[in-house]
Structure formats: C-alpha cells, structure tokens
C-alpha cells in the first residue's frame, strides 16, 4: 500500500448532491454532470460505440451487470464496485442469482467522502490492499452511475500494482444502454491492455495446449457445446476453434488475439472488435445457424482465412447434409414473436424460420452493427419486422398485433403474454442458454418451441378456471371476497386531479 494517500477533490461534487438520480430518472442531469466532471471523452466514445435508439435508458437490468459478470467469470480476477448502495445491492444479488460464487468488492461512500474526493482515495486504498499477485492477475473497478457523474477519476489509478493489472471502467446506465454492451466495455478494456502487453514482449501461454491449426476466436458468451460444434464444422477447412471471448482467464486474452480470424457471433462487441482489428485480425459477422446461415458463415470464415473453395465446400457438405435431414424430419408449426436483450435474437430468429416457424417480429435491445447486418437483411427478405434498440412498448405492440401462438421475450413480455393466455418462453434463460449452432441447435430449438406451443390447452384450462381472479383491483392476498368501493376510487381520482391542476398552475405562474 502507498504511504501517503493524497486527497483528490472531485471535479464535480455537485453531481453527488442530486439525491434520487439514477436509471429511473434524471438521466439528463447525470449526463450533464458527468460531462462537467471531465467524463465527456468516455461518454462520447460510448455514444459512438453504442448508439442509442428508441429507448434511451435501460429497460432491463442495470447495464453494469454485464461488466460485473465478465469479471466474475474470470479466474484470478477480483471485481470492486463503486456506486450507490442500492445499485450495488441489486448487482450483487443478481450476480449471485446467476451463480457467481465469488465475493463482489464494494467501496461504500457517503456525501462527504464523495464530495471531498475521499471516495477515490478509499478505492485506491482498497485496490492496494487487494493487489496480491499470488492470488490475482487483475482487479476490475467499476464506477456506477453516481461516481461516474461525479467524476471519480479511476483513470488515475496505477495501471499495475505488484504485478496485478488494474482496470478501472465507467459503466453508467446513462452511457451504456444494455448489459450486453457493458460486457464489451470490460472485454474491450481487457483486450486493449493485453494487446499492449503482447506488443511489449513475451506473454504467458494459455493453460490449455493450443491447436497446431490456425484458430478462430469466438466473440460472445455461448452455450458450452456450441464451440465444440463449431470446431467440428470448421475442421475440414483445417481450422480450429480458439478462445471464446469474454475469456475465463487473463492469459487466454493473448491466445484470443493470436488468431487467424474472429467470429463476431454476438454482434455488439464494438470495442473488442476494434482491438482485434488493431491486431490485424479479420472479423466475420453472423453465425452458423440454420442452413442458409451455416452455408454463408462457413464461406465467410473460409474466405477470411484464405481457405480454398474446395475445402469450404467439403465443410459445407459435411454439416448441411445432416442439418437438412433434421429439418426434413421435424418442424415448428406456429406463429411466433421474439424479443430479447442478449444480442443473439437475430440468430435465434433465423433458426426459427429455418425450422419452419411463422416468425413475424424480432426485437433486440442491442443496436444494428456491421456484424448483424447480414442477419437483418436475411430476415427482412423473409418478411420479418426487425427492430433494433427495441423498447418494451414495441415488443408488446408486436405481440398484440401479430397474436402469436408463442411469445419469446423478456420478463415483462412473457408476463404480458401469460395474462393474454399466450404460451411464452423467457429468452435469456430458456432460449439463449441452449445450443444454437449447427445440427444440435436446430434439433434443440424445435423441441423446446413445439413443447411450449403445445401448452395452449393448459393455458385455456387455467384461464377458464381462474377467470379474472387476481387481476386489477383483486390482485394480492385476500382472506374474504374483495369488496369494491367505487366511491373511494372517485374521491382519490378527484384529489389527484386537483393536485395536477395545482401543479400546472404553479408551473405556469
Ligand atoms: S448503476 Fe445501474 S442500478 Fe444504479 S442507477 Fe445506474 S443504471 Fe440504475
């Protein structure tokens, strides 16, 4: 630990005094405060990397969860949060819900430590205390909304302490739109660091032996079987699957950079792609899903790696033959709407269509990028409405409009579908967490989707049994039959309207 802890006053302490600001309100004030606090550069970078859309504030979980999750999944990596206690509570709760099995560090603050700049010094002290090279390769410090808006200068932390790498990042909900893109914020920062190290001299080899063949780095979290399935597909082209990014250990970052080409399976890793391109690696979008998707992807990977057309054709024939027979023997019969915030929505949409589904709408909270442009074109050519940066309102409107037999979506979409007696599946847990690539992907998706569509009769039965019980005013636990009080309602409404009028008059006068 350093002997002297210099106090660094915050660039914009006033930001901290605006109590109650966060993802639910006050975005403009937070942005303004952050700009005044010297965070303009990082916010401009985020605005360019993660262009906003219809909804300009998160509608799903706190975006910082994406960065937190990437750090928590890595060996020999400690993660420290700097933010309001309520945000940290939510983030740690979610991380343990998803099986983090790791302590999340937290440097608490109060108005005084934030305003005087002592918070930064507390963070610095915590980092020095944690930096044990016996246990750690890296410490990640994440500034949440309030510390970012207040200008807590994580960039002033040392880049390395006792051989432990220090990575400080700002991940405010008012600058990073989704938790998917927050994964890219940390992954991009790590790749940048690792690339500088690799350029400066020899670096550690990965724990597992490397393939003698040129490798493809896979960009995006995916079902554990998917990389193996992809490895089989590209084998005839004399290529091997290398590292999956985000990685599980620091030294894998070097192996990821040392590839022949990068497959941007998930299309939102803009900062990470920038690092791969800086390392001279070609990047290929989309993924081997369905017959057309696999055909095109194998061709694009082969070309990026300079593989002969003959070998590309061998690889295509090997996979596509098996896939055709699966798709000929099983089909999805039903109208579907699909929405999610994981970034893999367009890939799932392609696969659903190739499996026979009548897909009308796909909404993704992620933006359009060069890496999903081909998927969007393919889907639009099939008459599917593709909505990037989809808002919850758009997802719900699509469900009302197309009246699907199955709604695949986020939690609120699934909840709304159930109320409407429409079978539904939660995208994050039930669709994106299963194999999607190649033959296995098609087989597994058909099974789960058909089972869900087949549940309509059970929904109808439940609806007929429960009727409107538990809806609207009758929601909650009642010991007796609820008694309606229309007179109370009338009085409450009258008082509400009176208050509204008074507020308006005050605003005008
Ligand atoms: S850190 Fe996350 S939970 Fe907290 S205010 Fe920002 S976006 Fe919301």
Nearest residue (CA) to ligand 1, atom 8: 23
How is residue 103 written in tokens?
């302590």
Nearest residue (CA) to ligand 1, atom 4: 87
User: Is 142 near ligand 1, meaning CB less than 6 Å away?
Assistant: no
Rounded Cα distance between 450 and 57, Å, is 35
Strand partners, 283: 262
Q: Are 326 and 443 in contact (CB under 8 A)?
A: yes
CA of 104 to the centre of ligand 1 (A): 16
Rounded Cα distance between 265 and 222, Å, is 9
Rounded Cα distance between 353 and 357, Å, is 5
CA of 194 to the centre of ligand 1 (A): 29
CA of 144 to the centre of ligand 1 (A): 6
The tens place of each residue's pLDDT in the chain, 509 residues long, gives: 434 444 455 555 555 554 456 666 667 778 788 887 788 888 889 989 998 765 555 677 899 999 999 999 999 999 999 999 999 999 999 999 888 888 999 999 988 888 888 999 999 999 999 999 999 999 999 999 999 998 999 999 999 999 999 999 999 988 898 999 999 999 999 999 999 999 998 898 888 777 889 999 999 999 999 999 999 999 999 999 999 999 999 999 999 999 999 999 999 999 999 999 999 999 999 999 999 999 999 999 999 999 999 999 999 999 999 999 988 888 999 999 999 999 999 999 999 999 999 999 999 999 999 999 999 999 999 999 999 999 999 999 999 999 999 999 999 999 999 989 999 999 988 898 889 998 888 888 999 999 999 999 999 999 899 888 777 777 888 888 878 888 888 999 999 999 989 988 887 76
Phi-psi region at 446: left, alpha or beta (left = phi > 0; alpha = psi -120 to 50): alpha
Q: Is 256 helix (H, G, I), strand (E, B) or coil?
A: helix
How is residue 209 written in tokens?
């032996």
Rounded Cα distance between 385 and 388, Å, is 10
Predicted local distance difference test score (pLDDT) of residue 18: 46
Helix (H) or strand (E) holding 351: helix 345-354
Rounded Cα distance between 152 and 7, Å, is 12
Nearest residue (CA) to ligand 1, atom 2: 62
Predicted local distance difference test score (pLDDT) of residue 1: 40
Numbers of helices and strands, H then E, in the chain:
21, 14
Ligand 1: nearest atom to the Cα of 172 = 6
Neighbours of 155 (CB within 10 A): 13
CA of 432 to the centre of ligand 1 (A): 24
CA of 119 to the centre of ligand 1 (A): 18
DSSP structure class, residue 236: G
User: Is 64 near ligand 1, meaning CB less than 6 Å away?
Assistant: yes
Helix (H) or strand (E) holding 211: none
Ligand 1: nearest atom to the Cα of 144 = 1
Predicted local distance difference test score (pLDDT) of residue 24: 62
User: Is 22 near ligand 1, meaning CB less than 6 Å away?
Assistant: yes
Predicted local distance difference test score (pLDDT) of residue 11: 56
User: Is 145 near ligand 1, meaning CB less than 6 Å away?
Assistant: yes
Rounded Cα distance between 130 and 366, Å, is 35
CA of 18 to the centre of ligand 1 (A): 14
CA angle 193, 79, 192 (to 5 degrees): 10
Could you tell which of 56, 68, 90, 173 is best to mutate to test the pocket of ligand 1, judged by most ligand atoms within 8 Å of the CB?
Answer: 173
Rounded Cα distance between 400 and 232, Å, is 41
CA angle 464, 470, 475 (to 5 degrees): 170
Q: Is 294 helix (H, G, I), strand (E, B) or coil?
A: helix
CA of 387 to the centre of ligand 1 (A): 25
- Residue 446 Cα distances to 163, 358, 439, 453, angstroms: 49, 13, 11, 11
The pTM of this model reads 0.88
CA of 24 to the centre of ligand 1 (A): 8
Residue 138 sits at φ, ψ, to 5 deg, of -155, 145
User: Is 300 near ligand 1, meaning CB less than 6 Å away?
Assistant: no
Nearest to 125 by CA among 146, 108, 150, 148: 108
User: Is 23 near ligand 1, meaning CB less than 6 Å away?
Assistant: yes
Predicted local distance difference test score (pLDDT) of residue 2: 39
CA of 54 to the centre of ligand 1 (A): 19
Predicted local distance difference test score (pLDDT) of residue 385: 96
Nearest residue (CA) to ligand 1, atom 7: 173
Nearest residue (CA) to ligand 1, atom 5: 22
Ligand 1: nearest atom to the Cα of 173 = 7
Predicted local distance difference test score (pLDDT) of residue 289: 94
CA of 77 to the centre of ligand 1 (A): 23
Burial of 456 (0-12, 13-18, 19+ CB in 10 A): middle
């Amino acid at each position: 630990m350093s002997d002297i802890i210099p106090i660094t006053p915050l660039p914009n302490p006033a930001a901290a005094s605006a109590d109650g600001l966060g993802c639910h309100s006050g975005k403009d004030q937070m942005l303004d405060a952050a700009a005044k606090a010297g965070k303009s550069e990082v916010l401009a970078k985020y605005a360019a990397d993660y262009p906003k859309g219809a909804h300009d504030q998160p509608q799903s979980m706190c975006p910082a969860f994406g960065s937190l999750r990437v750090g928590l999944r890595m060996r020999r990596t400690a993660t420290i949060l700097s933010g309001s206690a309520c945000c940290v509570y939510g983030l740690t709760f979610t991380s343990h819900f998803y099986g983090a099995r790791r302590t999340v560090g937290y440097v608490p603050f109060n108005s005084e430590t934030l305003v005087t700049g002592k918070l930064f010094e507390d963070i610095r002290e915590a980092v020095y205390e944690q930096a044990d090279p016996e246990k750690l390769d890296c410490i990640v410090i994440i500034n949440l909304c309030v510390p970012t808006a207040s200008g807590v200068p994580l960039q002033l932390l040392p880049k390395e302490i006792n051989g432990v790498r220090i990575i400080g990042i700002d991940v405010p909900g008012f600058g990073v739109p989704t938790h998917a893109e927050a994964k890219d914020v940390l992954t991009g920062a790590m790749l940048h660091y690792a690339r500088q190290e690799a350029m400066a001299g020899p670096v550690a080899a990965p724990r597992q032996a490397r393939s003698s063949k040129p490798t493809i780095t896979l960009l995006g979290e995916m079902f554990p079987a998917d990389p193996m399935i992809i490895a089989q597909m590209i084998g005839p082209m004399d290529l091997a699957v290398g590292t999956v990014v985000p990685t599980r250990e620091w030294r894998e970052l070097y192996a990821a950079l040392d590839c022949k080409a990068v497959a941007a399976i998930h299309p939102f890793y803009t900062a990470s792609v920038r690092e791969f391109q800086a390392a001279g690696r070609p990047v290929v979008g989309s993924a081997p899903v369905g017959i057309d998707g696999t055909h095109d992807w194998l061709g694009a990977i082969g070309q990026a790696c300079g593989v002969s057309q003959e070998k590309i054709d061998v690889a295509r024939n090997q996979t596509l033959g098996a896939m055709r027979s699966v798709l000929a023997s099983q089909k999805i019969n039903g109208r579907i709407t699909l929405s999610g915030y994981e970034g893999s929505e367009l890939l799932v949409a392609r696969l659903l269509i190739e499996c026979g589904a009548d897909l009308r709408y796909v909404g993704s909270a992620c933006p359009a990028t060069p890496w999903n442009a081909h998927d969007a074109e393919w889907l639009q050519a099939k008459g599917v409405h593709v909505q990037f940066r989809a808002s919850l309102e758009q997802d719900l409107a699509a469900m009302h409009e197309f009246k699907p037999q199955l709604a695949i979506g986020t939690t609120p979409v699934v909840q709304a579908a159930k109320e409407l007696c429409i079978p539904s599946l939660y995208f994050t847990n039930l669709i994106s967490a299963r194999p999607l690539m190649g033959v296995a992907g098609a087989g597994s998706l058909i099974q789960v989707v058909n089972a869900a569509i087949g549940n309509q009769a059970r929904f109808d039965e439940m609806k007929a049994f429960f009727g409107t019980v538990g809806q609207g005013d009758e929601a909650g636990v009642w010991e007796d039959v609820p008694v309606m009080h229309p007179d109370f309602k009338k009085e409450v409404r009258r008082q509400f309207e009176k208050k509204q009028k008074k507020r308006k008059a005050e605003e005008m006068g």
